[in-house]
Structure 1
Amino acid sequence: MKSPLYIFTIAVVLCGTANTKAQQSPLKLWYNQPAEKWTDALPIGNGTLGAMIYGGANSDRIQFNEQTLWTGEPRSYQRTGASTYLPTIRKLLFEGKRTEAEALAGKYFMGEKNGEDTYPARFDVWFKKVTANNNAILTTLNNKNWHDMKIPTTNGWESSGIAELAGLDGVVWLRNAFELPKGWTGKNLVIDLGRIRDMDITYINGKKIGSTDSTSVIRRYKIDGSLLKEGRNEIAIQVINPFDKGGLVGGKSGQKTFSIYPYGENPEDAITLNPVWQYWIQDYQPPASPRYQAEYQPFGDLILNFKQKGKLIDYKRDLDIGKAIATTSYTCNGIRFTRQYLASYPDKVIVIHLKADKAGQINLDALLQTPHKLSAVSKIDAHTIGLNLKVQKGVLKGASYLYATAKSGIIKVVDNHINITNADDVTLYLTAATSFKNYLDVSAKPEELCKQTLQTVKTKTFVNVKERSIKDYQKYFNTFSVNLGAGKNQNLPTNERIAQYSFTADPRLLSLYIQYARYLLIACSRPDSKLPANLQGIWNDQLVPPWGSKFTTNINLQMNYWSAEELNLSACIQPLFKMIGGLSTTGAKTAKVYYNAPGWVVHHNTDIWLGTAPIDAPTNGIWQSGAGWLCHHLWEHYLYTQDTSFLKQHYPEMKAAAQFFVSTLVHDPQTGYLISTPSTSPEHGGLVAGPAMDRQIIRDLFKNCITASQILKTDLAFRKTLEEKYMQIAPNKIGKYGQLQEWMEDRDDTTDTHRHVSHLWGVYPGTDITWDGNADIMKAAEKSFKYRGDEGTGWSLAWKVNLMARFKKGDHAMMLVNKLLSVAEIGNAKEKGGVYNNLFDAHPPFQIDGNFGGAAGIAEMLLQSQQGYIDLLPALPTAIANGEVKGICARGGFVLNLKWQNGKLMQVQVTSKAGGECLLKYGSISQRFKTIKGKSYSFNGELKAI
């Protein structure tokens, strides 16, 4: 096996600070109005605490998170006896009986849900209780406890904007009424209520007319004419929603729901119900429903209510990603008010500083609130209030303290909020902590942690805290810069720039997009963060977040870190490496219980408690290659840093992941090749044997372990085993359409446009398929891409950008980048892919992996180093004809500054962080030279030394 030129370097250093300068234009997102919704708000974070800044003038919301507040508890995720069924599942798949294999796997091979054995009995007791007094409830419909809600709520009542319904599980009554039209008297009617989550018991004038327990069934109930009366008729619906989203969802776009029409007559002649319904919460404490894995939780909100009166002018809010500071400013009654917000890593707090340009003008109330029902706010001391909470569906507790200090003025804690009057300036320090220590220990004392943090920080001035925060942040951020030119829209507010985006009009927005991804990674993943970035980084405002805001290991968790090495943020990957260490322990238990195998395995999702068993369904949850893909990041980190100490530390995790496959690979009865089974091609095509993605990842893992053992001079016998197995793994295959086969069988569909392109893993992020290694297979992969198509959203689109860069089709890759930067929402239109007003990526809804993956794709257009040399401008788009990048990293421990004009390389500087030999290529030109650690080497566009 031929090793890359650079793997023999031995220096132990990281990609360090490059010779970079600040961008020519301010690195800011800015707006002329406060945020109206969460995806307008601006994110700040210090790797543990995250906050979304709304910037309201009269009332400001700072929605905040702490990275370890999750549902669930330490527990075993494995289903005892699962390995007993493994031979039968494999046999069924080899016999072509996929349906039978999936049925068996669904029953015996999935992970255990928490509390699944006792849930039916607990639910029955609760259900009888909440339905026992329905007749009594119906007689009190006119009480004052009812409130208004607009229907439908397509994403559940959680999306209604009503605080008490946020994340609510339980029982909610909804009521409405209609006037019976003349001519309908005595007729039987139909009421169309669309879809309801989950169960409804529906009444007309106090009489039950129907009940359904399903999220997918359209409710169309017959109303007997004898139940109706002239004039007003009452509708009451008891909605029972024991978990996830609840409410009157309505129908698909264009469907007419919430209507009434005569039975047997044309539904188009229906009368439509008033969209404003009334609701009453009957119960919000159902028994905890069994869940495969835990969900990331919001912590709370800091609300600032100001007492200023008068017209506001010159409003502006912004986020300076060069300093990690958000600012809100405006003028009222001739007084200029300014607020600065930052999340300090050195001082472990979120800081808000308020000032006015005239003395004694700051007057406000500051309060803490949370969507968690089990919570309370109390006075801590004369300057501090505290929020205590416990998650309802788990064991974790949390505490948040808010401390206020002011120049002049008066501070009082009144009725569990802080009142500040006539101050010159004010500084607020917000901290939060949970009882989580690690995935096995929840004994931390959050109140004490908050007190300790405040005790230290409140002795410092705001200026000192701010300076420390900026200095700490910039040691990461200032290692890289990019300038792709100016444009006519660069001075517009960010939301307007997005709405009008085209590269020719605003190339600087693309530069901002790249740097924003780096900002987000620094904000949500610091070296000592307890967890890596989840599906939403560190930001979440929902008790039931999309996909649980977990760690999805069949691409999303890994994509969060695709750009980190190349864009000079290697240190920010440390939380991922820590998680890999934990998963290698929990995954070893899963490997034993499910496959009776050594080593470790991770299926397609994990959470704070490091569950590794299959979840959701056998068609997408039984996928074996999560550990192998995670180990790819360990090897990549070594390649970029040449850190042999790191490699020695993490080689055991790589080896153990490989041991699992050495034990579990079986011979395909049709071809004799070694394959993995059962597995899937995420999340496509059902349960199969030997999908291409598995084979590519396993080859990558074996190859990297072989090379690592050579570098570390260890494990000769195991290395030989891997070399033998490597040659027996089923190869990549070209199918009947000239495509790269996704499965062992040639069953790809050229009309299939599924969002996953899993069989192209070997092109990117892997190196199983390269132009130098096998151009024919590379061309087949590109044909597969063509059939799958350019459409996509979020992470899927970002993956395609990286693939097109590896195919060296720069203009095509740039077209996909433009899709990533399109408007995600326009007015009341349904969300689509693109970016929201705050540049968050829309899957939709928000998922942060698209931000990180998109930035990685642009970097791949400018530099690639996966084939053992540094390929300069390998996929430069026509649209980026002029530009400069400083601080971009290459495998081998090299940091580069590049400049190009009119689509041609002008100059490159290479700084060697590890020493060793370097090979540069630009088109047909190459330059090979030896380097000395710490020295820089400069070349012109012809790669001649200067």
Structure 2
Amino acid sequence: MKKYFCLVLAFVAIMQPGNAQHLKLWYDRPATEWVEALPIGNGRLGAMVFGGVSDDRIQFNEETLWSGGPRDYNRKGAYKYLDSIRGLLFAGKQQEAENLAGREFLGLKSAEGDRNAWATQIKSILQQKNNPAAAIYNDRSWKTIHVPNYDGWEKEGLGELDGAVWFRTSFELPADWKGKTLELDLNKIAEQDITFVNGIKVGAQNNGEARIYKVPASVVKAGKNSIAILVLNVAGKGGILGYKDAGKAIGIYPVGKPDAKLPLNGRWKYWIQSENVPPVGEYQARYQPFGDIHFHFDVDTALVTQYRRTLNLKDAALTTSYKSGGTTFTRTYIASVPDQVIAVNFQADKAGAINFETALSSPHRNFILKKIDPQTVALHIQVKDGALFGESYVRVATRKGSIDIKDNRIIVKGADEATVWITAATNYRNYKDVSGQPAALCKAALQKIGKKSFTSVLNDHIKEYRQYFNTLSVDFFNPSQVQNASAALPTDRRLAQFSRSGDPEFVALYLQYGRYLLISSSRPGTYPANLQGIWNDLLSPPWGSKYTTNINAEMNYWPAELLGLSPLHSAFFKMTQEVAASGRETAKEYYHAPGWVLHHNTDLWRGTAPINASDHGIWVTGGAWFCEHLWERYLFTKDERFLRDTAYPIMKDAALFFNSFLVKDPVSGYLISTPSNSPEQGGLVAGPTMDHQIIRALFKNTIEASKILKRDGAFRKELEDKYSRIAPNKIGRYGQLQEWMQDVDDTTNKHRHVSHLWGVYPGNEINWETTPDLMKAARQSLIYRGDAATGWSLGWKINLWARFKDGNHTYKLIQMLLSPAGRGAGSYPNLFDAHPPFQIDGNFGGAAGIGEMLVQSHTGFIDILPALPDALPGGRINGIHARGGLVLDLQWENMQLTALVIKAIADGSVTLRYNGVVLPFAFKKGESYKVSPGFKTVEAL
């Protein structure tokens, strides 16, 4: 027994996390772009840290700062058009169905102002004799801006401007162009323009098309010619965008001779005529940035040495260090849950060396700064045309030295140490209530801090964080590799060479980084991670940084149960409860049905109605997919109280909706889902495969939950009856799994969504054990779809190839995900997922997919190393979870399992499987077990 106990201790020892290098992202230079900055977060507050030497920027967010406000998203009585839309689809009249649905079946936008009246008022300036379009207009007092910028004038110093802006420049007419008609190539302008040459209008557009305007020979003259452009933009990025390819210039040239183009890239004069734009109607709200704090230092950057910027995943602490003038400076940044602050600590190895000045600002225009006391400055912001406002308090505490506030800038001189406490809050209380008092919340947080030392706050932060992070450790290695040289490289350079370096440790780091990001953006009691987690620097972020529920919001939580972060799933369940409540009204108004429904997007205000356009916005199974997460939580934990009190009531109400919604297909006689679509392609249809897979899963899970809880027997029988009548999966003429009822799949289609493979992953009805023919067809579909994809799609495909048990193909896609993002998918220098642009779902999908290579438990078996790639011949993972209530610690060498210990968190029985060998065993909650060498027996420890 003593010998056996020693073996167990030895196994536990080797399962501990690897050395600190494995758990760090580090860089040898400051960030210059947002996607080079490093993220910290406590679920509610998030920040991106740039780590500059003379100017250190921290861009920060608060999870409840969104545009919009409480309102009704639902079009009343939309259900009156449901039968007509279905009838048109059944008759093969898709376009007519989409037109009708677009008019009568989409949700309501927020209040919209009169754009035409505003534009008319702006254009009235052209009636003035000497207006900005005139050739001789005096623009000497105007400021200058670089033109063009494909990311909009926001990236050229105009903040998040919406309005009317004039641009002016000039060009010298080449002598041999005299008498020739010219073409002015501006390409894209956002969004409306009126363009003049020498005061004569040469073009105007109000669309997303390229601008190439004819300039008559009579308009131009020898010598200097003026160009004036009035740009009107009421939302999103604005300005003269030019070409996405920055190497392609805007310019002017003789008709038909673009090779002779005279480039117009460079400094243009500009003048903001108006910033007071009318409100823009939106289907749903946008997640908003909060503010920025800059720390300015009097440092000669040319003399700085030993620079290092490091994110330590083990402690959720970020440091910037460097040496200047013989002194070593260190800054430490954290986002604390216990104290609800972002904290920045400044230290040096020389007394009195800490000197800096703060500058607090926000992209929200007309923000207000105010001195609160001799150590504190407050930032007040108001979301444009929205219900929400926010307060941020910034307080500085020092050891020795002085603190002064001048023009709302905090100035620290001669300190031995300084700590900056950053708080932020909004007036949001819940999706129906905006009566909060953010200033009081900020004051309370600072009062709680009191005179606490940074060390005390740091220790409390680390203790709270590690209760989540330390539930899993992982290490991958190649025994034939004596030393991994890549581990010594800065993370951006390590990323650049990963695909050709054989760097298994980087895969382990990526998995742990995904866990870090989920912990940082989704603590219990907060709201769930959105499309960008809690990190965003734009007032008009991509896709509103909302919750896209046709995969992206769900993908964010794929790692939660598998990778030991089950408590973090609660943030997602909180949103599920809220959309279930608001979705009842949508079910009633759109489908005249009981229960609740969620379409393909939601936001902070819990909109559940269809949005955007009828060809992709009318998709009904978002709520049913959310319910899959509730059931998965039960399967992994066997927590019957959670099932009874939280999961089942929501699942039952979702099933009630689909019990009413499903309709008989007049051709096949099956029950089908319509109107809907297969995200986000193919348009509005009757009977997309994905819907049927998700609805079957919902019915099956609800039936099983009903049996476990011994309730709702009559309703259970209804579901059992309808379950068997839902249109089944079908194999098409190319050997593929059909995406629709009709066999119309295009084998050349490379669309990012692979929706009809939901039944493989994250579902489980298609698998090698019970449906091998469908599994082969699904694999064929994925082969046709190809490997190349957006970042989040790569995350999905990684999980799919793991379920197909093809480890080497899975690893190939991991290499694609972990490649530098350029114009395509991959990862940014800070390892954020690139759609592109940034979406965090790929990080979470990729982390989950790495776990799926090691343990799978969706078919009734616990499969050990089911998709291990050749590139990961050795490794260990401690704390990976399996359905049934099990936590596994496993180790392998030379592609062979060498140790397996299992801890039970519930009572039950399962069948283990490894290399074709099956091993049934029963277990008791709280007990641990060891699998013998050769995978022959399971022994209690």
The alignment's TM-score, normalised by the length of structure 1, stands at 0.95
Q: Which residue of 1 aligns with 2:580?
A: 584
Deviates more, 1:921-930 or 1:40-49: 921-930
The structure 2 residue matched to 1:22, chosen from 17, 21, 32, is: 17
* 8 Å Cα contact 1:374-1:391 kept in structure 2: no
Q: Residues 267-278 of structure 1: matches in 2 within 5 Å?
A: 267-278=258-269
**Equivalent-residue separation in structure 2 for 1:256 and 1:224 (angstroms):** 24
- 93, 97, 104: which one aligns with 2:100: 104
1:680 equivalent in alignment to 2:671:
no
Determine the C-alpha separation between the residues in 2 that align with 1:788 and 1:451.
54
1:625 and 1:694 in contact (8 A); partners too: yes
2:706 equivalent in structure 1? 709
Match of 1:791 in 2: 788
Q: 2:455 aligns with which of 452, 463, 474?
A: 463
Equivalent residues of 1:640, 1:892 under 8 A apart: yes
- 1:722-768 CA-partner distances (Å, limit 9, x unpaired): 00000000000011111100000000111111111000000000012
C-alpha distance in 1 between matches for 2:137 and 2:17: 64
Distance in structure 2 (CA, Å) of the matches to 1:347 and 1:546:
31
Offset of 1:192 from its aligned partner? Answer: 1.8
Q: Which residue of 1 aligns with 2:807?
A: 810
Query: Residue deviations 1:837-866, cap 9 Å, x none?
Result: 111111101110000000100100100000
| Higher alpha-carbon deviation: 239-248 or 619-628 | 239-248
In structure 1, the residue matched to 2:652 is 655
- For the residues of structure 2 that align with 1:741 and 1:941, how far apart are their CA atoms? 44
CA distance in 2, matches of 1:652, 1:717: 16
Q: Which residue number corresponds to residue 163 of structure 2?
A: 170
Aligned to 2:492, the other structure's residue is in SS state helix
2:499–2:816 Cα contact (<8 Å) kept:
no
Contact kept? 1:655, 1:705, Cα under 8 Å:
yes
Q: Deviations over 1:627-655 (max 9, x none)?
A: 00000000000001111111012211100
Q: Distance in 2 between matches of 1:337 and 1:432?
A: 27
On the 8 A contact 1:18/1:887 being kept in 2, the answer is no
Q: Which among 328, 351, 371 is matched to residue 343 of structure 2?
A: 351
Single out whichever of 544-553 and 271-280 deviates more from structure 2.
271-280
Q: CA deviation at 1:504?
A: 5.2
The AA in structure 2 aligned to 1:849 is D
Match of 2:687 among 677, 687, 690: 690
Shift of 1:141: 4.9
Tell me: CA distance 1:34–1:142, structure 2 relative to 1, closer, same or farther (3 Å). Answer: farther
C-alpha distance in 1 between matches for 2:436 and 2:350: 44
Q: Provide the residue aligned with 1:292 in structure 2.
A: 283
Partner of 1:492: 489
Q: Which amino acid aligns with 1:295?
A: R
Tell me how far 1:275 sits from its aligned partner: 3.0
Counterpart of 1:149?
Answer: 145
Aligned equivalents of 1:853, 1:738: Cα separation in 2: 27
Question: What's the offset of the Cα at 1:142?
Answer: 3.9
Show the counterpart of 2:858.
866
Match of 1:406 among 398, 401, 406: 398
Contact 1:504 1:879 (8 Å CA) reproduced:
no
- Cα RMSD of the aligned pairs, angstroms, is 1.6
Matches within 5 A, 1:344-743: 344-485=336-477, 487-502=484-499, 505-529=502-526, 531-649=527-645, 650-743=647-740
Alignment match of 1:203 (pick from 178, 190, 196): 196
Which sits farther off after the overlay, 844-853 or 485-494?
485-494
Q: CA deviation at 1:156?
A: 2.2
- Whether contact under 8 Å (2:53, 2:299) holds in the other structure is no
Q: CA deviation at 1:145?
A: 4.6
Structure 2 residues not aligned, in runs of 5+: 1-11, 478-482
- Kindly tell me: are residues 274 and 632 of structure 1, through their superposed partners in 2, closer, same or farther at Cα, counting changes over 3 Å? closer
- In 2, Cα distance between equivalents of 1:811 and 1:819: 13
Higher relative contact order (CA 8 A, sep 6+): 1
In structure 2, relative to structure 1, the CA distance for the partners of 1:308 and 1:150 (3 Å cut) is: closer
- Report the Cα distance in structure 2 between the residues aligned to 1:189 and 1:456, rounded to whole angstroms: 68
**2: CA distance between counterparts of 1:314 and 1:911?**
45
Name the aligned partner's letter for residue 185 of structure 1: K
| Count of residues in correspondence between the two structures | 915
Q: CA deviation at 1:195?
A: 1.9
Aligned to 2:186, which of 185, 193, 201?
Answer: 193
Report the Cα offset of residue 490 of structure 1: 0.6
Equivalents in 2 of 1:185, 1:878: separation in Å? 68
Could you tell me how far apart the structure 2 residues matched to 1:309 and 1:902 are? Answer: 52
Q: Is the 8 A contact 2:17 2:475 kept in 1?
A: no
Q: Return the offset for 1:285.
A: 2.2
Q: Is the 8 A contact 1:194 1:257 kept in 2?
A: no
Q: Give 1:298's aligned amino acid.
A: P
Q: What code does the residue aligned with 1:511 have?
A: A
Q: Report the CA distance shift for 1:619/1:863 in structure 2 as closer, same or farther (over 3 A).
A: same
Displacement of 1:261 after TM fit? Answer: 2.5
Tell me the residue number matched to 1:182. Answer: 175
Q: 3-state DSSP class of the match of 1:782?
A: helix
Gaps of 5+ in 1: 1-16, 826-830
Structure 2 residue aligned with 1:57: 53
Offset of residue 213 of structure 1: 1.1
Q: C-alpha separation between the residues in 2 aligned to 1:308 and 1:540?
A: 29
| In 1, Cα distance between equivalents of 2:230 and 2:342 | 42
Show CA shifts across 1:347-384 (max 9, x none).
00000000111111111111211010131111000000
For 1:18 and 1:867, locate their aligned partners in 2 and report how far apart those are by CA, in whole Å: 32
Measure, in 2, the Cα distance between the counterparts of 1:600 and 1:207: 58
How far did 1:463 drift? 0.7
Amino acid of the residue matched to residue 115 of structure 1?
A: A
When residues 253 and 453 of structure 1 are mapped into structure 2, their CA distance, relative to the original with a 3 A threshold, is closer
For 2:874, the equivalent position in structure 1 comes to 882
Q: Equivalents in 2 of 1:347, 1:777: separation in Å?
A: 52
Q: d(CA) in 2 for partners of 1:648 and 1:792?
A: 40
Between the aligned partners of 2:885 and 2:779, the Cα distance in structure 1 is 30
Deviation at 1:256, TM superposition (A): 6.0
3-state DSSP class of the match of 2:892? strand
Partner of 1:768: 765
3-state DSSP class of the match of 1:93? helix
Which residue of the partner structure matches residue 11 of structure 1?
A: none
Provide the secondary structure at the position in 2 that maps to 1:227. Answer: coil
Structure 2: how far apart are the matches of 1:941 and 1:779? 33
Please give the residue correspondences for 1:801-840 in structure 2 after superposition, counting only pairs within 5 Å.
Answer: 801-825=798-822, 831-840=823-832
Shift, 1:159, TM fit? 3.4
1:19, distance to aligned residue in structure 2 (A): 10
Letter in 1 for 2:529: A
Gap change, CA 1:548 and 1:907, over 3 Å in 2: same
- Summarize the Cα distance change of 1:252–1:318 in structure 2 as closer, same or farther, 3 Å threshold: closer
Deviations 1:470-518, CA, capped at 9 Å, x for gaps: 0000010000000102622111111110111137532111111000000
Residue pair 2:171, 2:225 contacting (<8 A) in 1 also:
yes
Q: What is residue 828 of structure 1 aligned with on the other side?
A: none
**Residue 754 of structure 1 aligns to a residue in which SS?**
coil
- Asked if residue 266 in structure 1 is aligned to residue 257 in structure 2, the reply is yes
Name the aligned partner's letter for residue 198 of structure 1: E
Relative distance call for 1:687 and 1:935 in structure 2 (3 A) is: same
Instruction: State which of 302, 307, 310 in structure 1 corresponds to 2:293.
Output: 302
> Does 2:65 match 1:72?
no
Where does residue 13 of structure 1 map in the other structure? none
1:855 and 2:851 correspond: no
Higher alpha-carbon deviation: 880-889 or 266-275:
266-275
> Aligned partners of 1:494 and 1:192: how far apart in 2?
41
Worse-matched range after superposition: 165-174 or 351-360: 165-174
Segment drifting more, 367-376 vs 800-809? 367-376
